[in-house]
Amino acid sequence: MTTRLESLSEWVAGIARLTQAERVHWCTGTRDEYDEFVREMLARGDLLELNQDSYPDCYLHRSDPRDVARVEHLTYVCSDRKEDAGPNNNWMLPAEAREKMNGLFDGCMKGRTLYVIPYCMGPLGSPYSRYGVEITDSTYVAANMYLMTRMGDAALAEIERTGRFIRGLHSVGELDPERRFIMHFPEDLTIMSYGSGYGGNALLGKKCHALRIASYQARTEGWLAEHMLIVGVENPAGETHYLACAFPSQCGKTNLAMLIPPKSHRGWKVWTLGDDIAWMHLDDEGRLRAINPEAGLFGVVPGTNRHTNPNAYESIRRDAIFTNVALTAENDPWWEDKDTGEPVMDWQGRPYDPANGPAAHPNSRFTVSAKNNPSYSELAEAPRGVPISALVFGGRRRELTPLVYEARDWAHGVLVGATAASETTAAATGKVGVVRRDPMAMKPFCGYNFADYWSHWLSFENRSDALPRIFHVNWFRRDPDGSFLWPGFGENLRVLRWIIDRCRDRVDAVESPIGYLPEPGAIDTSGLDIELETMQELLSVDPEAWKQEMQSIGEYFQTYGDRVPQRLRAEHGKVLSALS
């Protein structure tokens, strides 16, 4: 099969020539095709069959041990002008980057199959959905794209109808970390990724398209592409409120998106719409509506068990691809905190020896269709998405940041998002556990200058008076001994309830220099073994520590120079003077 869209067929032919691919396969997106990908990978040893009785249609992929996470230091935004990429991105001149990448792609698919993957981000037929074509030489990528996006004929038909698509070129190359680059050309709507097979670097629909390129498009077109989960919280009266929440990688987005209400909350339900990315547009009434551009979950495996995330645990019992987990003697997948079974072989295929570190890689992943999730919302397929009542920012902070607080208004909320910070995790290579500024959880994903991004966020203030309220949460506050103060997981619903009550004007709040905090007792802790003092500690604001934080934020803003919007500086100034 090929295409009648000349711009696409010419591009594919040119890449096939450049890379000297042996054959070209146009992906149709059927289950039979996926099964064939799996058979080929099993034959080559790229996939291993897991125990088919306990884990039907589940497979294990072991990646190159040097290719297990996103590589932010090798990820670039190549805009014409350096200042348009901003201090938040690595930058290279587009011509230079293209030359470098063409050199790497030259002849790199000799003897390999080139897959052409037309895909749709968002529900097919939604006015908010966008299309792309990824070219790759990795069968693993093609199989994962089948689970993560709406890929194949239907997407191609739409691309042929409109002629519009994002071009994504990917090769695993030699998997050599010294010859690895993830390049974005937002002004040309193009992505070039070489030398990695890891999800965030190689499944180009996800971080590269749906965040870096889409954030750039969203700014020019007046919408938002964000690193946010989307959930619906249904109360016992049957009313559902939708929330979009931004947390950095490995801060529990998937767990919150799939939350099962605790036993104390009979009659409540939480519906998953997305666990990683939200595209949000203003509708005719000025409400922000969100769709999830993805169709699957690419989640962190360690820590997933029947208590922390029963829905995820259930979702990955069939039709899942596991990457870099360990194995039990029964050939079941195993990971840290699985709560059942014992590892006999680690993620690198060595006999398990605790001296070698964790059995599963800390960033080991599962890929499954979102439809596997028992709490998947039907509205996740709705072309117009869902109206968002609250936007929630968060991070992983041992101290300082209270369990929850609310911004005074939209502009203050933009400051709250812009000042978010978190301890780093294994989702990206580099040191783990150091606090870094991660505005809107978009540090690794914003395809242009953060200062312009904040202006874009602020611009919504003048476009609608029905915008969602903005909150900040921190599930990760600890006592001096290092123990978590808040139980987290399903109990986080108690905090979401306060957020929703605020949105409906059902509860008052206490004003503080950093925003509105819950009144004592306003967060329902019935049935929880948590002392009053612990709640006070969780909701406390230390003015001295906050002053330092705001001063350091002021210094951070300085690194963006004059482009930082005056409105944001004014909000920052207001908080700082309230703390003095």
Catalytic residue among 245, 251, 446, 503: 251
CB of 309 to ligand OXD, least distance (A): 15
Nearer to ligand OXD, 377 or 424 (CB): 424
The H or E element containing residue 61 is strand 59-61
CB of 210 to ligand OXD, least distance (A): 10
CA atoms within 13 A on the CB side of 8: 26
Three-state SS at 168: strand
For residue 293, the tally of other CB atoms under 10 A from its CB is 28
Strands (E), 80-209: 90-91, 113-121, 130-136, 150-151, 166-171, 181-185, 190-194
* Closest residue to Mn ion, based on beta-carbon distance: 276
Residue with tokens 């000297």: 20
Q: Please choose which of ligand OXD, Mn ion, none residue 572 contacts, taking the beta carbon within 5 to 8 angstroms, the exact cut-off set by kind.
A: none
Interacting residues toward Mn ion by CB under 5 A: 249, 276
In angstroms, the Cα distances linking 205 to 157, 191, 231, 512 are 18, 10, 21, 41
Residue whose beta carbon is closest to ligand OXD: 249
Q: Binding residues for ligand OXD, per CB under 6 A?
A: 70, 199-200, 249, 276, 298, 427
Task: Give the angle subtended at the CA of 421 by the CAs of 417 and 423, to the nearest 5°.
Answer: 150
Distance CA 556, CA 560 (A): 8
Give 367 or 377: the residue with its C-beta nearer to ligand OXD: 367
Least Å distance, CB 191 to Mn ion, is 17
Out of Mn ion, ligand OXD, none, what residue 132 binds, judged by CB under 5 to 8 A for its kind, is none
For residue 86, the partner it binds in ligand OXD, Mn ion, none, with Cβ less than 5 to 8 A by kind, is none
Write out the E strands in 469-564: 469-473, 509-512, 515-518
Q: Which does 422 bind (CB under 5 to 8 A by kind): ligand OXD, Mn ion, none?
A: none
Residue 271 or 298: the one with the smaller Cβ distance to ligand OXD is 298
- Cβ–Cβ under 8 Å, residues 73 and 210: no
Q: Enumerate the H helices of 298-386 as residue ranges.
A: 310-315
Min dist CB 251 to ligand OXD, Å, is 9
- For residue 246, the minimal CB distance to Mn ion (Å) is 10
> Could you say which of ligand OXD, Mn ion, none residue 298 binds, taking C-beta under 5 to 8 angstroms by partner kind?
ligand OXD
**Residue 149 contact among ligand OXD, Mn ion, none, beta carbon within 5 to 8 Å by kind:** none
Nearest 5°: phi and psi at 316? Answer: -100, 20
| Cα 258 to Cα 351, 386, 412, 527, distances in angstroms | 33, 17, 29, 22
Please say which residue, 84 or 276, places its beta carbon nearer to ligand OXD.
276
Q: Residue 228 or residue 500: which is nearer to ligand OXD going by CB?
A: 228
- 120 belongs to the catalytic site: no
C-alpha span between 557 and 550 (Å, rounded): 10
In whole angstroms, give the CA distance from residue 477 to residue 320: 33
User: Would you say 246 or 326 has its CB closer to ligand OXD?
Assistant: 246
The total of other beta-carbon atoms located within 10 Å of residue 329's CB is 11
CB of 259 to ligand OXD, least distance (A): 18
Minimum CB distance to Mn ion, residue 86 (Å): 20
* Closest CB to Mn ion among residues 276, 423: 276
| CB-based contact 276:227 (threshold 8 Å) | yes
Out of Mn ion, ligand OXD, none, which partner does residue 200 contact, by CB within 5 to 8 A per kind?
A: ligand OXD
Which positions are annotated as active-site residues? 251
